[in-house]
Amino acid sequence: MEPLTTSLPFVDSAVAMRPGHVLELCGPSGAGKTELLTQAAATCVLPKRHGGAAAPALFVDLDGCFDALRLVQVLDARVQGGQGGIGSPSGEVSSAEVLEEALGRFYLVQCHDSLEFLAALRAARAGSLAPENFRLILLDGVGAFYWLDRSLRGAPEALDECEREERGVAVPYSLGAVHRGVARELSGLLQHHRASAIAAKAALSDGGTGRDSRGERVSGDLWAFREHLPKAWQDLVTHRLLLQRSQRMGGEGEVVRLGKWQQPEAPQVHRFSFRDGGASVR
């Protein structure tokens, strides 16, 4: 199967998104994680004549940040930007019909806790959400329920997970159990559908600043990375792109974002901003 194109130049030039691959976008609020997921989703569902994959995409919104109007705006800008005869009097298909076709391949699930997240992954794997296999799974807000799950430690686990399954004993609700379940269900979903995944994860803290002994803000390592999710999730991730918001504005007051590969590691820092059609490399 051909690699999936995301239309994100700094992603497509660095990695080939093949079935089973999981790309993690990690950064603080405002770094552009949801925007990048939206652009990748738009590319997946658009018809091939408009540079898309013409394939179903599943967007799992875990933190309530998804903006449906923004997706429509990106799709419309892509269609209008490369429409050619589309939409003209002699065109066979109007831009509205192209949008309807693309949105028909987009599936959205909103989850409010980890149990709903697990149920959504299981339903997708079973084919209950769409009549055909997904090509791309987008997870926005992985770790959104981290503190809630961490507070529910559950009872001590006297048996390991395999022994519990053999004896039919329920696994206590805990952070580790939740993420083992997520990793198992997502891995099975990707294998069954021959899909790839892009997951957005918030950084625990801003690596670009800190405070000294007097409480004054000081500069730190902008690309310092601290993993906080359990090993089950870490083992699932095949690629990781770190994101930051630049302190310097671009032309006409544009907000500039920064991206740097942590897995595979690369020294280059990519600068980009967002326009109607999505991310634009600067």
Asked if 249 and 256 touch (Cβ cutoff 8 Å), the reply is yes
Residue 162 is predicted with a pLDDT of: 58
Cis peptide before 264 (omega within 30 of 0): yes
Gyration radius of the chain over CA positions: 20
- Listed in order, strand segments (DSSP E) in 55-100 are 57-61
At 69 the pLDDT is 96
Residues 141 and 126: their CA atoms lie apart, in Å, by 23
Separation in Å, CA 146 to CA 113, 114, 178, 210, 229: 10, 9, 10, 23, 8
CB 263 within 8 A of CB 225: no
CATH architecture of 9-281: 3-Layer(aba) Sandwich (3.40)
- For residues 196 and 19, is the Cβ–Cβ distance under 8 A? yes
pLDDT tens digits for the chain (282 residues)?
Answer: 789 999 998 999 999 999 999 999 999 999 999 999 999 999 999 999 999 999 999 999 999 999 999 999 999 999 988 644 334 433 567 899 999 999 999 999 999 999 999 999 999 999 999 999 999 999 999 999 988 888 876 545 544 555 555 555 455 667 888 889 999 999 999 999 999 999 999 987 655 554 444 444 345 578 888 888 999 999 999 999 999 999 887 777 789 999 999 999 999 999 999 988 888 887
For residue 117, with 0-12 CB atoms within 10 Å meaning exposed, 13-18 middle and 19 or more buried, which class applies?
Answer: buried
Q: Say which amino acid occupies 184.
A: R
Pairing state between β 265-275 and 255-263: antiparallel
- The torsion angle over the Cα atoms of residues 265, 20, 113 and 141, rounded to 10 degrees, is 30
Contacts for 131 with CB less than 8 Å, ≥ 6 apart: none
A 10 A CB-CB count for 275 gives 11
Show me where the domains of the chain are located: 9-281
Cα 148 to chain centroid, rounded:
21
Q: Is 254 helix (H, G, I), strand (E, B) or coil?
A: coil
